[in-house]
C-alpha cells in the first residue's frame, strides 16, 4: 500500500474530526408520501409516464429519461400517485415531482432477492441493466450508463479508480460501504470490469482510513485485475478527480495518457443491486450530521423522503440550525426549507450551527494572500476577484478561470469573507464572447 502526495500547492486542512457515529447505517422510516423529483440527474427532466390516481409498484417506472444526461426515475415505494407537483430542490432549482402516497405491499423490501446469474451476461446487457435501473453518478449527476458508454469509441478504459474520498472530508459513508458491504461492492466491481475490461484497478483512501485500505489492498475478484490500494493525506479537496490524477501521476503509477474511470464504492454496490437483483435506484445512504443535529447517523433513506424527516429520525435539532446544507459544507447547496426530498445524488444533509458557519460581514480584500495559498489549482483568486469586480470576464479566463473547480478553498480561508467561489461560478456562466 502506497501513500500518495496529492497537493503540490494549495489545499486546506479542514479542522474537525470525522463525524463519530454510534451505530452502523440503518434504514430510515418509509415516507408516507414520497416526493420523487423527475430531475435527479444533470440533464433534462425525465418524461412523466404515470398519471394522478395510478397505482404503482415498488420500483415501477415513473419517468423516462430523455436526451443527454437524463435517467429513468422509479417509484421508491408502492402506492397511489397523488399528483405531479412543482418542488424546489437544494440551491433553488425547481422541477416537477411525482408524489406517491404509500399504500399496498412491497415487492422487494423484506423479501429475499432473486439473483440473476449475471456472469453469463454480455457486456452490453450489463450496461443496459444499469441504464434501465436509472443509476446516476452522485458526484456530477451523469447517468452511469452514459459515463460507461464514453469508452465504447475504440479507446478502451485502462484503469478503474475506486475512490472512497468525498467532498466532505468528514463523511464516512463511502468507507462504511466498503467495510460493511464488502461482497456486494466487490461483485459490482467485477461487473464493471466485465464492461470496461481495464488493465489495472486502484482504490484511493484518506490516510485516516488506512485500515480499510489495507483490507482492500490486493483484493482480486473472479473478474478484472487485482485492486491496488493507495492513501492520500487528509487535505481538502482531496476528492477531485484532477487531484487524484495528479497524485497518481506523480507516483508514476499512471501516465498522462491513461484513460481512467472514477467510481464511488456506494455506486458499485448499486451496480451489484441493479444487475444481480434487478433493483432500480430507490434509496440512498445519507449522512445526517452537523452541529445542530442531536445524534448524527447514516440513514438508508428511500428517494423522495424529506430531509426534515431524516433530521427528526436523528433526534431532531440540539441547537438552532443556521443553515441546512445538502452534499457537503464546502461544495454543497443550501436548502430553503426542510421539505426538500432526497434524490439519487444526495450524499449528506447537514444542519450547521452559527458556530460552524461563522458568518461575518464581508469586508474589502486586504491582499493577505491566504486564498492564493489555499488554491489547489495554483490560481490567484485575489486577482480573479479584482477582475470580476471590473466585469472583465474575458481577462478572468486568461487568468485561468477555466481551471477553477469551484471547490471553495479560497472562500473558506478568506478572512474578509469575500464569496470568491460564488463570484467565480457567476463569471463562468457568462458567455465566452462577453467582455463586460
Partner 1 sequence: MTRNRYPIVSAAPFIHVGRSTSSLCFGAAAALLPAFAWSSWIFGPRVLLVAMVSIAAALLSEGGANLLARRYTLGDGSALLSALILAAAMPPGVALHIPALSASFAILVVKWSFGGLGGNWMNPALAGIAFAQVNWHDEMLGGWVMPRILSGVDGLSASTPLGYLADATGGARVSLPLEVLKQAGYPVSAFDGRATGFLNDHVFGPLGAELPGGYVDLALGFRPGAIGEVAGILLLFASVILISRKMIRWEAPFSALLAFGFLARLFGGAGGDFMSGDALFALFSGGFILTAVFALADPVTTPVSRPALALFGAGAGALAFAFRRWGALPDGSAYAVLIMNALVPLLDKAFPPSGRARKRRDA
Residue ranges in contact with partner 1 by CB under 8 A = 8-9, 12, 15, 85, 87-88, 92, 321-325, 328-339, 350, 352, 356-361, 363-369, 372, 375, 377-380, 382-383, 399-400, 403, 406, 408, 411-413, 415-417, 419, 421-422, 425
| Secondary structure class of 388 (helix, strand, coil) | helix
Q: How far apart are CA 225 and CA 248, in angstroms?
A: 17
C-alpha cell at 413: 480561508
Least CB distance to partner 1 at residue 367 (A)? 5
Least CB distance to partner 1 at residue 26 (A)? 26
Nearer to partner 1 by Cβ, of 45 and 134: the residue is: 45
Nearer to partner 1 by Cβ, of 58 and 399: the residue is: 399
Whether a cis peptide bond, with omega within 30° of 0, leads into 237 is: yes
Nearer to partner 1 by Cβ, of 10 and 63: the residue is: 10
Q: Are 90 and 326 in contact (CB under 8 A)?
A: yes
Least CB distance to partner 1 at residue 74 (A)? 23
Beta bridge partner(s), residue 47: 64
C-alpha cell at 432: 465566452
Nearer to partner 1 by Cβ, of 65 and 304: the residue is: 304
Q: How far apart are CA 13 and CA 15, in angstroms?
A: 6
C-alpha cell at 348: 449528506
Nearer to partner 1 by Cβ, of 65 and 290: the residue is: 290
Backbone angles phi, psi at 100, to 5 degrees: -115, 120
Q: How far apart are CA 321 and CA 180, in angstroms?
A: 31
Nearer to partner 1 by Cβ, of 219 and 406: the residue is: 406
Q: What CA–CA distances, in Å, run from 302 to 110, 226, 326, 361, 433? A: 14, 33, 16, 39, 44
Q: How far is CA 278 from the centre of its chain?
A: 22
Q: Are 66 and 44 in contact (CB under 8 A)?
A: yes
Least CB distance to partner 1 at residue 69 (A)? 22
Least CB distance to partner 1 at residue 331 (A)? 5
Least CB distance to partner 1 at residue 393 (A)? 17
Amino acid at each position: 500500500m502506497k501513500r500518495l502526495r496529492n497537493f503540490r500547492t494549495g489545499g486546506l486542512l479542514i479542522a474537525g474530526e470525522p463525524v463519530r457515529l454510534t451505530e452502523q447505517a440503518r434504514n430510515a422510516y418509509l415516507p408516507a408520501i414520497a416526493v420523487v423529483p423527475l430531475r435527479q440527474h444533470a440533464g433534462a427532466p425525465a418524461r412523466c409516464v404515470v398519471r394522478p390516481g395510478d397505482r404503482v409498484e415498488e420500483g415501477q417506472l415513473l419517468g423516462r429519461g430523455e436526451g443527454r444526461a437524463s435517467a429513468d426515475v422509479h417509484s421508491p415505494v408502492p402506492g397511489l400517485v397523488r399528483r405531479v407537483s412543482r418542488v424546489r430542490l437544494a440551491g433553488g432549482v425547481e422541477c416537477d415531482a411525482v408524489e406517491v402516497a404509500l399504500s399496498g405491499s412491497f415487492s422487494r423490501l423484506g423479501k429475499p432477492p432473486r439473483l440473476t446469474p449475471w456472469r453469463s451476461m454480455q457486456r452490453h446487457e450489463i450496461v443496459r441493466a444499469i441504464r434501465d435501473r436509472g443509476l446516476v453518478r452522485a458526484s456530477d449527476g451523469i447517468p452511469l450508463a452514459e459515463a460507461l458508454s464514453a469508452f465504447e469509441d475504440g479507446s478502451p478504459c485502462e484503469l478503474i479508480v475506486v475512490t472512497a474520498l468525498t467532498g466532505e472530508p468528514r463523511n464516512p459513508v463511502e468507507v462504511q460501504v466498503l467495510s460493511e458491504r464488502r461482497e456486494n461492492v466487490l461483485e459490482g466491481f467485477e461487473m464493471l470490469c466485465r464492461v470496461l475490461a481495464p488493465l489495472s484497478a486502484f482504490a484511493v483512501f484518506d490516510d485516516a482510513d488506512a485500515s480499510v485500505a489495507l483490507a482492500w489492498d490486493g483484493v482480486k475478484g473472479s473478474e478484472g485485475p487485482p485492486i491496488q490500494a493507495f492513501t492520500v493525506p487528509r487535505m481538502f479537496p482531496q476528492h477531485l478527480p484532477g487531484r487524484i490524477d495528479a497524485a497518481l501521476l506523480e507516483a508514476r503509477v499512471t501516465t498522462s495518457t491513461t484513460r481512467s474511470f472514477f467510481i464511488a464504492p456506494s455506486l458499485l454496490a448499486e451496480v451489484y443491486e441493479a444487475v444481480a437483483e434487478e433493483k432500480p435506484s430507490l434509496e440512498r445512504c445519507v449522512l445526517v450530521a452537523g452541529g445542530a443535529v442531536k445524534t448524527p447517523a447514516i440513514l438508508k433513506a428511500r428517494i423522495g423522503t424529506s430531509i426534515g424527516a431524516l433530521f427528526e429520525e436523528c433526534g431532531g435539532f440540539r441547537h438552532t440550525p443556521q443553515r441546512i446544507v445538502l452534499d457537503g459544507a464546502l461544495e454543497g447547496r443550501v436548502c430553503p426549507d426542510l421539505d426538500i426530498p432526497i434524490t439519487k445524488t444526495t450524499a449528506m444533509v447537514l444542519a450547521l450551527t452559527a458556530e460552524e458557519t461563522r458568518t461575518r460581514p464581508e469586508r474589502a480584500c486586504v491582499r493577505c494572500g491566504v486564498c492564493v495559498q489555499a488554491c489547489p489549482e495554483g490560481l490567484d483568486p485575489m486577482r480573479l476577484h479584482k477582475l470580476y469586480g471590473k466585469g472583465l470576464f474575458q481577462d478572468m479566463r486568461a487568468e485561468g478561470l477555466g481551471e477553477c473547480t469551484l471547490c471553495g478553498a479560497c472562500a473558506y480561508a478568506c478572512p474578509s469573507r469575500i464569496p470568491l467561489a460564488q463570484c467565480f461560478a457567476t463569471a463562468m456562466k457568462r458567455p465566452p464572447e462577453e467582455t463586460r
